[in-house]
Structure 1
Amino acid sequence: MSELILRAATPADIPALSKLGIDSFVATFGHMYSAKDLADFLEEAHSHNALAGELADPARLYCLAEQDGALAGYCKLGLTCGFPDHARGQNVLELKQLYTAAGMTGMGIGKALMDWAMAEFTARGADEVQLSVWSGNHGAQKFYARYGFAKVADIKFRVGEQLDDEFLFARLM
């Protein structure tokens, strides 16, 4: 395999971002939802139109990980506080998504993207970083704990009409 390349996302990346986001979400969580709830959520969060709006939003920052010319993963940051009711800092930023392509978990892609995210948070003066993680995703929870994140609250995540139990993890910087 060739070297992993990290770079900013552009509008030309929308089709690949949409496909990776949909494929990753469906593979991990698709079994949990009705067909309608899943379709509505995927349209809202991973459609080309949704991603075009996200890429144009100055409060969002995307980093892509490419390997052998293909999208291997991506990370999305929120440059505003996503959960103000639980904020402990004054400049609270959010890790909104960190996805890897199917079959590429455990290959260092998540680590490279997380290292990039943590450097961005530091460079932007964050004094706290928040993220939400599904209560049943123990692997992701362990991954984030290695970076100093810990559970600070129980929250809900909506997919269509369904509300999932999630954990709000945070780390003071």
Structure 2
Amino acid sequence: MILRDATPADAPAAAALGSEAFCAAFAYLYRPEDLNTFLAANHSPEKAAAEIADPAMRVHLAVDEAGKLLGFCKLVLSCGWPEHARADRVIELKQLYTDPAATGRGIGATLMDWALAEAAVRGAGEMQLSVWSGNDGAQRFYARYGFAKMADIHFIVGEQRDEEFLYAKLF
């Protein structure tokens, strides 16, 4: 596995993997029209390209030796939930997605290690992330890294409002 920063040329692959990973985990929760609208707005090549180009974000990739995208991690270099911030400098872990066919290969752990190191280099005192209230596996994953539930929040997909948890970790 090779880790590297995303480039504009990676936007289509990142968008496709984002859609695939989201659907593999959550598509069953949503009406097709809500899911399709959400995916078009949040996992399009245009959105991925804008995030890669955004100086207020960092997008890091895990690729195999042939260059196939295995996963990505997006950091927002500012606080997503300032009302819950416990440090002066808070970074948000926006997404950590892996190829559903490559689960169990340590991709998520490797990307999480990068995210935590990146936050430390940037002087963050805290990292925040949101996780679906029904995603027990992700909650266990984040807990292994020292994240804990801070608050109940919401995530909107079309007309559906999901119960989410805000997790955070102090450095």
TM-score per shorter chain, which class? over 0.9
Whole-angstrom distance in 1 between the partners of 2:8 and 2:32: 29
In the alignment, structure 1 residue 145 sits paired with structure 2 residue 168: no
CA–CA distance in 2 between the matches of 1:95 and 1:107?
Answer: 21
Q: Could you tell me which residue of structure 1 aligns to residue 93 of structure 2?
A: 95
The structure 1 residue matched to 2:36, chosen from 36, 39, 42, is 39
Runs of 4+ in 1 over 4 A off after TM superposition: none
User: What aligned pairs does 1:1-173 form with structure 2 within 5 A after superposition?
Assistant: 4-69=1-66, 70-173=68-171
CA RMSD of aligned residues (A): 0.8
Q: How far is the alpha carbon of 1:52 from its aligned partner?
A: 1.6
CA contact (8 A) 2:12 2:48 kept: no
- AA aligned opposite 1:79: L
Q: Is the 8 A contact 2:61 2:73 kept in 1?
A: yes
With normalisation by structure 1, the TM-score equals 0.96
- Deviation, 1:59, is 1.0
- The CA distance in 1 between the partners of 2:8 and 2:164, in whole Å, is 31
Give structure 1 stretches of 5+ with no counterpart.
none
SS at match of 1:103: helix
Which amino acid is the alignment partner of residue 156 of structure 1?
Answer: H
Aligned-pair identity in percent equals 59
* Structure 2, gaps ≥5 residues long: none
Instruction: Tell me the TM-score normalised to structure 2 length.
Output: 0.97
CA–CA distance in structure 2, aligned partners of residues 18 and 169 of structure 1: 25
